[in-house]
Structure 1
Amino acid sequence: MAAEGAGGETFAQLLIGQADRRGDASAIREKRRGIWGNVTFAALSEEAAALSLALAGRGLVRGDRIAVIGENRPRLFAAIAATHALGGVAVPLYPDCGATELAGQLRATDARAIFAEDQEQVDKVLEILPDCPGVQLVIYDDDRGMRHYVHPGLVDHAHLMAEGHEIAAAQPDAYRAAVAAGGGEDEAFVFFTSGSSGAPRGVIFTHRALIGRTRAAAAAQGLGETDTTLAFFPPGWLCQTMVSYMSAMAVGLCICCPESLETLIDDMRETAPSALLTTPRMLDAIFSRISTRMEETGGVNLVLYRRALALAQRVGRQMTEGQAPGAVNRFGMAAYGALIYAPLRDFLGMSRLKSACSTGDTLDPAMQGFFQTLGIGLGQLYGSTETAFFVAMQRPGDTRPGPLGAPLEDMEVRIAEDGEILVRSDGVMKGYLDGTTARDAEGWLHTGDAGRLDEAGRLHMIDRMDALGRLADGTPFAARQIESRIRFSPFIREVVVTGEGRDRLCALIDIDTLAVGRWADDHAIAYMGHVDLASQEAVHDLVAGIVAGVNADLARDPALAPLQIARFALVPEELGTENGFLTPTGKVRRQAVTDRFAALIEALHAGRDEVVIEAATGEEGHRGEIALKLRAPGGTGGPGDRRAA
């Protein structure tokens, strides 16, 4: 394993080790304007050296915190490497973070410098700079639209590199001397939590903790120097940075940076990664794209796809229940494997995957079963920012839908009396920025998640502790378990189930505008925008059929049978990060949704058929009153309950 040969107590020391041993190996590949470029470990180390020396020349010192704002790009990874070479603390932030939230995070971390990807990020930083007096230097990468920017402390990446090369020529040993001075207990990163159940909090990690967690995760997945991974989530998400930058340093794998989310499938097909980190939302989008493409194809291919999908669902359900597929199903799997499943794997760029992990939210067993039926060993991963994510995971060959897998070898996990998951390890966070640690007297970190351990020691996630609810009759429910089942449909983008203290469960549903729009076109239904589409009677019938299908699935499980969705409504506004309803990683900010649509929720539970609320009309942000229909499951949409219709 590469990790064993890559010595060093800090990420900067690991980078020098990789550059010395295998400098010509690819550290990062990036696609720009349709062409893949390559950055070797030697080139990355050289760039980190120049940048770190330039930062030191401008007055930054060991222990300073340096923010990085942008997508996965080689120069931003070099900025992180330079920060560590200096002895500083890297603070990756989400690129779609609003100005107010960004200012708060920069003040909370007392950031001294900022690496910004492009004009959009620089404009946001310059707007809030008066409120962030600690920031003395702003470095930008892409200079498009910025040729005439003049501001004290603003410098482009190339100019800073030139300064660093001059210093390196005069002090050739300075870079390695600075790196050698670092230690494993030095602070390495500050990451902010997603904020799905409260305001984001800054979490501090040491080099030793994250290097250990990264190596343990790589060992569990069987990853090493010959592997590649596709990095398409922002570096502000700790899990993505562990799977990309940290894994490149600790085990020597290669990071592939796609050109954009729009080209993601094409980029995956071109790189054919062996390791992939994904989320239920991303899998929903991929499944929706597959279904849409097959609907457009039509003919025999569509008939075969629908039959193959139905078989995948049956087999997935059997796998969830711990049953082995029968002889007929095994024969069908083999036949469809050659006709449908293998071509789909190639189309998705997943033909070489040996480790695929889904995390960030509950994954519907049917969705996991679908990908596994395609021959993709999709497993689940459990963790949080505070625990450095890799707490429990399904290893290759043990990916039965349902459990989240066994804890990693360096992780202790137990369940508290109230059902909360407790974690203990040397690899968890050092603490929050405010000085608290979320640990009890025995060192157990309280995750805030509810779960259980089965007889085989595998962890099962139920929901957030603060999201568990009870109906008025005392029946307990976990909203996420039901929401993930509804969201499996390609027509559904997001769901929020409500029912705490009520006599029944109801759901707010956000339709997938693209998928439902194409369905509406195929059925000659005219509409103008999301609001109009969500108000169509035929769309309500379609969603009613989907919810009815989920209710039927729930009825087959005695533990879930009482948890039927009694009524639902289609929300008039798309739930997104830009309006504060989703976190940057795609998790629902449940409180934001329930606060915004409180009147709609009350009307649902009161049994009303219609309610008038104020909402965005979709016309240049204008708002107005909209009459919404409230429905019970059923209707004519049955054929679309689990596939494109």
Structure 2
Amino acid sequence: MALSGPPTVHGQDTLPRLFRHVVRQRGDAVAMREKDLGVWRGVTWRDYGERARRVGLGLVALGLRPRDVVSILAENGPEWLYTDLGTMSVGGVTNGIYTTDAPRQVEYIVNDSGTRFFFAGDEEQLDKILEVRARCPGLVKIVVFDVEGLHGFTDPHVMSFDDLLDLGARYEHEHPGAWDPLVEIARPDDLAILVYTSGTTGPPKGAMLSHRNIIFQLGFTDYLTPPREGDQQLSFLPLSHVAERTFTVFYPLSTGSTVNFAESIDTVPDNIREVAPAVFFAVPRIWEKFYSGVALRMREATRAGRFAYRWALGVGMRMAECRIQGRRPPLALRVLDRLADLVALDNVKRSMGLHRVRGAATGAAPIAPELIKWYMALGIDMREVYGQTENC
């Protein structure tokens, strides 16, 4: 990262420039994966860039102007990311809306943000915006990712995501060379994204984050662990939250890691074991569930299994205490810790799918210090992250 002037990542000072650079550099490497009929299907950085480009050019064809706001109401998935970076790459501003929000909340955010283009994940989310559309005068077009269940539905202000991609492809054919000048529109201090807070002290407020804000924080992506080629991530928390947005959308632009989208919140434990992420961020509730699952399995284990676990965990706790106090563990303890990992702790981590985790983070709510210490005892480098949305 540059020490003077605007911060940069890989020599780029805005998200559109960084995205274009990474697409060119990583090409056929896998950027993201999602499950289709039980099989993980990959999307390369090249394909990622092409689809984001078509989204952006499709929006330009529909009349998007620089600094126009595009809101996304959808579950995590590749289309979310295509829309996010495609919008920013043509000078637009993106805003995520929680899929649990009611129509009246959607109406408020659409009007407060000045949203002109709205992306709905499916029929359920489309129904919310259609219910309040008459009270959203600035809305120009609604795009639907998944049109299953909308057979026979027609509305001049609603189009499918596939149709938007086709529109973008036609625009590119008719305006060759249009993309790169659009990518250059954004400046470091321009608004990049809006993130609406929970509104605990009144109505939700849109935190305004610039390209400079986000590029600056990406300069510290090795805070959890230095990235390695082939690192995997799992995306399952709402992308409308700034923490998950950072880990899923922006972090890989710096590290080149592959994002895997969980099938649903219910399949997260299975998906973690399948993916075996290198970096993992979750709210305390998820970490507590992992711990409870291990505790339950230990109650059902054999006497020998319980003894091995208790002994190994005791060794791990002594190691964790040394780390917490900033002391180097004595050699004898380090040897015992290696043995404890072989005897029990590695199996515990594998049962949760966390055996490859080099950096773990928790945030967005308080967590018991004892729980952090338990994970540290397993050999998982757990960090608690906190801050204001406005400062991310």
Fold shared, TM-score > 0.5 on shorter chain:
yes
Contact 2:313 2:378 survives alignment (8 Å): no
Which residue does 2:17 correspond to in 1? 13
Q: Deviations over 1:537-574 (max 9, x none)?
A: xxxxxxxxxxxxxxxxxxxxxxxxxxxxxxxxxxxxxx
In structure 1, the gaps of 5 or more residues are: 389-645
Q: 1:272 and 1:324 mapped to 2: Cα distance?
A: 29
Contact 2:8 2:216 survives alignment (8 Å): no
Contact 1:218 1:247 survives alignment (8 Å): no
Which residue does 1:519 correspond to in 2? none
Q: 2:20 and 2:323 mapped to 1: Cα distance?
A: 46
Q: How does 1:290-439 map to 2 (within 5 A)?
A: 290-297=294-301, 299-306=303-310, 308-309=312-313, 333-388=337-392
Which residue does 1:193 correspond to in 2? 197
Residues 23 and 328 from structure 1, CA distance in 2 versus in 1: closer, same or farther, beyond 3 angstroms? closer
Offset of residue 226 of structure 1: 4.4
Q: Is 1:31 equivalent to 2:35 in the alignment?
A: yes
Q: 2:328 and 2:89 mapped to 1: Cα distance?
A: 53
Offset of residue 142 of structure 1: 1.6
Contact 1:11 1:250 survives alignment (8 Å): no
Q: Deviations over 1:163-196 (max 9, x none)?
A: 1111111112112221122221221000012345
Query: How many equivalent residue pairs?
Result: 387
Query: Helix, strand or coil for the counterpart of 1:263?
Result: helix
Q: Is 1:160 equivalent to 2:164 in the alignment?
A: yes
Contact 1:274 1:353 survives alignment (8 Å): yes
Q: Deviations over 1:575-612 (max 9, x none)?
A: xxxxxxxxxxxxxxxxxxxxxxxxxxxxxxxxxxxxxx
Contact 1:320 1:365 survives alignment (8 Å): no
Contact 2:224 2:360 survives alignment (8 Å): no
Residues 297 and 140 from structure 1, CA distance in 2 versus in 1: closer, same or farther, beyond 3 angstroms? farther
Structure with bigger helix share is 2
Q: 1:42 and 1:327 mapped to 2: Cα distance?
A: 48
Which residue does 1:80 correspond to in 2? 84
Q: 1:320 and 1:93 mapped to 2: Cα distance?
A: 38
Which residue does 2:219 correspond to in 1? 215
Which residue does 2:240 correspond to in 1? 236
Q: How does 1:142-291 map to 2 (within 5 A)?
A: 142-196=146-200, 198-218=202-222, 221-223=225-227, 226-291=230-295
Q: Is 1:43 equivalent to 2:47 in the alignment?
A: yes
Offset of residue 270 of structure 1: 2.0
Q: 1:49 and 1:327 mapped to 2: Cα distance?
A: 55
Contact 2:317 2:376 survives alignment (8 Å): no
Identify the structure with bigger relative contact order (alpha carbons < 8 Å, sequence gap 6+): 2
Contact 1:316 1:366 survives alignment (8 Å): no
RMSD: 2.7
Contact 2:315 2:340 survives alignment (8 Å): no
Offset of residue 99 of structure 1: 2.1
Residues 33 and 296 from structure 1, CA distance in 2 versus in 1: closer, same or farther, beyond 3 angstroms? farther
Q: 2:58 and 2:11 mapped to 1: Cα distance?
A: 26
Contact 1:227 1:274 survives alignment (8 Å): yes
Q: Deviations over 1:88-118 (max 9, x none)?
A: 0000121112222222111110101111222
Residues 63 and 272 from structure 1, CA distance in 2 versus in 1: closer, same or farther, beyond 3 angstroms? same
Q: Deviations over 1:330-382 (max 9, x none)?
A: 67644432222101112222222221111222332211111111111112222
Q: 1:325 and 1:246 mapped to 2: Cα distance?
A: 36
Residues 139 and 35 from structure 1, CA distance in 2 versus in 1: closer, same or farther, beyond 3 angstroms? same
Q: 2:162 and 2:303 mapped to 1: Cα distance?
A: 54
Query: Helix, strand or coil for the counterpart of 2:266?
Result: coil
Percentage of pairs with the same residue: 26
Query: Helix, strand or coil for the counterpart of 1:159?
Result: helix
Q: 1:327 and 1:16 mapped to 2: Cα distance?
A: 48
Q: How does 1:510-529 map to 2 (within 5 A)?
A: none
Contact 2:16 2:89 survives alignment (8 Å): yes
Query: What letter matches 2:141 in structure 1?
Result: L
Residues 100 and 208 from structure 1, CA distance in 2 versus in 1: closer, same or farther, beyond 3 angstroms? same
Q: 2:241 and 2:50 mapped to 1: Cα distance?
A: 26
TM-score normalised by L of structure 1: 0.56
Contact 2:118 2:142 survives alignment (8 Å): yes
Query: What letter matches 1:285 in structure 2?
Result: K
Offset of residue 64 of structure 1: 0.5
More displaced 10-residue stretch of structure 1: 161-170 or 24-33: 24-33
Contact 1:319 1:369 survives alignment (8 Å): no
Offset of residue 279 of structure 1: 2.1
Structure with bigger strand share is 1
Offset of residue 385 of structure 1: 0.5
TM-score normalised by L of structure 2: 0.89
Residues 387 and 4 from structure 1, CA distance in 2 versus in 1: closer, same or farther, beyond 3 angstroms? closer
Residues 218 and 322 from structure 1, CA distance in 2 versus in 1: closer, same or farther, beyond 3 angstroms? closer
